[in-house]
Amino acid sequence: MGQMRKARTSRKKVRSKRRDSNWKNPASLDDILAAAESAQQAFDNEQAADQYSRAASLLRNGHTIASETRESLLIRVLEKLGECKVSLGHQSGAKADFEEAIAMLENEQGERNIRYHETRSSLFFYVGQLCMEKEALRAYQQGLGSLETCAKLGEKLSSDDAQDSPANPLHEVRAKLSGGYCTIAELYLTDLCFEDNAESECEAWLTRALELRDRDGEPFVDVLQTMASLRLSQQAKQLESAEYILRAFEKMKVGCDALASLVGLMENGDSTAVAEQALELTNVDSVNTLPEFEFRCQTAKLLLECATLVRDTPGLTESQKAAEQQCVSAAVSVLGSLLAQNDEVVEIWFLAGCAFALKNPLTVDAATYYLERAMEMLKKVREVLESNAKVCSGDQLTEVKEELEENRIQMEDVQGKIDELMSVETAMEE
């Protein structure tokens, strides 16, 4: 099935499509901020960035409004401006805005309260996302320091019996801490993987994250998934990866099953067609709190990698062998949830075909269905790319040629998997 995990999650440059709208040309600071917020809500990030930039210039020149000090308002505006620039792909400009906001925040003479530390942690995490290697590490560590302070201050304000209530912000801080610890661990799995202490540092940060508990008493889902990735990279502990990724799946199982049922891909089914009548979503909360699309895509890849690992490892006990099909069934559920959310992603169809190819008993028809659908989508993509290549030149042509080569490799992978299934089916018939 080839390499199913990326060494690093790429940071895509997302450029919002500017909408046709008659934005006002506001004169006052209040009007400028209102226009900026309206543009951002309308996903017109270019217009929003223009207005936030105007507001920042006014504030630097001494303008203010009654509700906030000039410094605190400028920090907030710079944070919003940086967010807009990130969405537009202007990463260097965004980093400069976040760093200016951090410098102003550190110079403020106000109380170092929860709000201060929340803002500080957010700004440093933004910077970390825009940096690489040790520079990113330093930024994340700064952000985590403030988050840890938030947690300590929150514990003082919260009574013991209210700390885990849904409305308590302390739970959100713990979730952010878990995510921050995992982010640093992932740095040691990727950017900093050649550091002498990379493995021990990765393990140490994840150990800290495992100590934080979600409302169900389990660690948060991101740390369980990152632990699975770490164990897969450790030859002596690889089989433990299945345990961690299955625990991660259990935390999203209800929501995934509910969505998967809508496309006829329930955990124990092998249907290839959309269900005649979609089941009513009775677990709305579980669906709404599912991890993001890319996170679940990575979950599915890890589940399939763990299933393959268990299958290819000799001398396992029956209990250990059972993990293979548990991982496959879980992957089908996760992939079903992804198809219900977006059925235009080729990779999801390919992974679904791979999942059914691993099912026991082998479901050749289902596996072939999903793989052939992936092939159809790849062929359409190729037609578009070949058409673009005829009218492009220079750097654009180079980019299109690179995409065509990637498309060719993907088609070969899919066709190879289809041929493999056909060989298995022929052997079974004989």
Q: Between 70 and 246, whose confidence is greater?
A: 246
Instruction: Give residue 429's pLDDT.
Output: 67
Instruction: Give residue 277's pLDDT.
Output: 38
Q: Between 15 and 206, whose confidence is greater?
A: 206
Average pLDDT score over residue span 355-375: 91
Say if residues 71 and 108 touch (Cβ distance below 8 Å): yes
DSSP collapsed to 3 states, the chain: CCCCCCCCCCCCCCCCCCCCCCCCCCCCHHHHHHHHHHHHHCCCHHHHHHHHHHHHHHHHCCCCECCECHHHHHHHHHHHHHHHHHHHCCHHHHHHHHHHHHHHHHHCCCCCCHHHHHHHHHHHHHHHHCCCHHHHHHHHHHHHHHHHHHHHHHHHHCCHHHCCCCCCHHHHHHHHHHHHHHHHHHHHHCCCCCCCCHHHHHHHHHHHHHCCCCCCCCCCHHHHHHHHHHHHCCHHHCCHHHHHHHHHHHCCHHHHHHHHHHCCCCCCCCCCCCCCCCCCCCCHHHHHCCCCHHHHHHHHHHHHHHHHHHHHCCCCCHHHHHHHHHHHHHHHHHHHHHHHHCCCCHHHHHHHHHHHHHCCCCCHHHHHHHHHHHHHHHHHHHHHHHHHHCCCCHHHHHHHHHHHHHHHHHHHHHHHHHHHHHHHHHHHHC
Q: Between 32 and 161, whose confidence is greater?
A: 32
Average pLDDT score over residue span 55-73: 80
Instruction: Give residue 18's pLDDT.
Output: 39
Residue 7 pLDDT greater than 70, yes or no: no
Residue 222 pLDDT greater than 70, yes or no: yes
Work out the percent of the chain whose per-residue pLDDT is above 90. 70
Instruction: Give residue 252's pLDDT.
Output: 95
Residue 3 CB neighbours (<10 A) = 8
Instruction: Give residue 362's pLDDT.
Output: 75
d(CA 40, CA 37): 5
Say if residues 150 and 117 touch (Cβ distance below 8 Å): yes
Q: What average pLDDT is seen over the chain?
A: 86
Question: 15-58: per-residue pLDDT in tens?
Answer: 333 343 444 455 688 899 999 999 999 999 999 999 999 999 99
Q: How far is CA 325 from CA 4, 247, 336, in A?
A: 18, 15, 16
Q: 């809500």: which residue's tokens?
A: 41
Residue 331 pLDDT greater than 60, yes or no: yes
Q: Between 424 and 428, whose confidence is greater?
A: 424
d(CA 240, CA 234): 10
Average pLDDT score over residue span 221-228: 97
Backbone φ, ψ for residue 182 (5° rounding):
-65, -35
Q: How far is CA 97 from CA 123, 128, 145, in A?
A: 10, 13, 21
Instruction: Give residue 16's pLDDT.
Output: 38
Q: Which of 203-212, 389-398, 415-424 has the highest mean pLDDT?
A: 203-212
Instruction: Give residue 159's pLDDT.
Output: 53
pTM of the model: 0.83
Question: 267-289: per-residue pLDDT in tens?
Answer: 544 444 334 434 455 567 788 88
Q: Between 362 and 94, whose confidence is greater?
A: 94
Q: What sign for the dihedral angle of Cα 147, 297, 300, 339?
A: positive
Instruction: Give residue 69's pLDDT.
Output: 81
Instruction: Give residue 280's pLDDT.
Output: 52
Q: 């950017």: which residue's tokens?
A: 191
Instruction: Give residue 120's pLDDT.
Output: 95
Instruction: Give residue 153's pLDDT.
Output: 84
d(CA 32, CA 56): 10
Average pLDDT score over residue span 298-304: 98
Lowest mean pLDDT among 106-110, 271-275, 311-315: 271-275
Instruction: Give residue 253's pLDDT.
Output: 94
In this prediction, residue 124 has a pLDDT band, given cuts at 50, 70 and 90, of: very high
Q: Between 8 and 363, whose confidence is greater?
A: 363
Q: Provide the CA 156 distance to its chain's centre, in angstroms.
A: 32
Dihedral Cα 392, 396, 402, 408, nearest 10 deg? -30
Say if residues 248 and 299 touch (Cβ distance below 8 Å): yes
